[in-house]
Structure 1
Amino acid sequence: MRSGELESIHVPSEEDEAVRDYLRSRDSLRLDLGRNRQRLMKFLLRKGITYSATKYWTVSHNKWLNNLQFNNEILQETFNDYYSRVRVQEENLKAMDKRIQEIAESEPYREKVGILRCFRGVDYLTAMFLLCEVCDFKRFKTAGSFMSFLGLVPGEYSSGSKREQTGITKTGSPRLRRILTEAAWQHRFPGTGSKIVTARRSGQPALVVALAEKASLRLHKKFRNLQQRGKTPQVMITAVSRELSGFLWAAMNLVA
């Protein structure tokens, strides 16, 4: 322990653990909804029924699904069963998202959620996942140690004088890496002048707002530079996710 080779663990509070379980339940529902949507569309495809537009699960797509009729009674019942599962899960997901927002706007999460939402790509759900999975950002002494916790740093293979870097370690929570990846995608485009982000930053500490604006400019520039160098989308998004996590760590350490 004195040499620093042992890593400390953090035991979440009872409330953090309860909210974390709720968030994970929501994530499981999201996956189940995706699977049931696929089952429905595969069923329709087997019957030679296709949707003419390119975007699925929009208002117009749902209207199209509502109007589908089968001549065979059993096929109609099968379709109704597939579609009703999707609609029920969609409503459940909306209800859970609403509840998560209510939790995020209450104590003890309100202040920290407000800080995280200053960053592009980070809204209530992402902020709550970060807070309840990480719990205490201050237990990480450096941004690098936080990135390592997330599994976003390259691994290393060493043998004698030979040293070779591998892909990212992927240690830690896959959920956190996924939500950071989703947040990082927002930085493909310039973020200046966004009314939504400006509204989120209203009333937040000036230092945090300045850091979030710096992150927005820097991460978009990084995306563009990596793209010009011919990097693959996976390499680009991993690099931007890693750097975004460093900015989020810095913002949370600005809080007293």
Structure 2
Amino acid sequence: MSSEQVAFIGLDTSKLKISVAIADGERNGEGRFLGDISSEPASVAGMVKKLAKRGAKLHFCYEAGPTGYGLYRQIVELGHQCSVVAPSLVPKRAGDRVKTNRRDAISLARLHRAGELTSVWVPDEAHEAVRDLVRARDAAFEAQKQARQQLHSFLLRHGRYYTGRKAWTRAHGRWLASQAFDHPAHQILLAEYCQTVEDAGARLDRLTN
């Protein structure tokens, strides 16, 4: 191949492996499945090095997902182009319901060659770190909300109603501390629910501050 030619590489990624397919630059050329490799960086580097020997410019792509952007950064650092595409915007053929790693990789390679894929913005490591922190804080907020609801529902089932102006204040905390049950099992549950609320609040505070 001449250095002016381009090869489009579709990667179907998962936690442990990556399925690799290639579509050469000719628009009507067939996409070919090259096989599966480990998702370990060393395996990725070996795959990229092998494909680079073909002499074509390599344009990689894979769908955004839980595997993150490490693969993108590695390919770019190796000197090649890479696009992370929006899964919801990948064109689907009518009636094409059978999904396999092999088929998806070939489809990505062909669609990438045809310019029919929509790339997402890839954050740098600093942006991604902040984004992860925000996600963790949101999850902590939901965990606190759920813990409070469980405690509230438990107390309501046993006719315990807080009559103060606002829940989850110091006054509400003193009211909770004053609650007691005759049955040991209920007393254990009360202590566990209160501790869960306290732990969830502390975690949220740590992630916020």
More helix by share: 1
More strand by share: 2
TM interval, short-chain normalised: 0.3 to 0.5
TM-score of the aligned structures, taking structure 2 as reference length: 0.42
Give 1 or 2 for the bigger CA radius of gyration. Answer: 2
TM-score of the aligned structures, taking structure 1 as reference length: 0.35
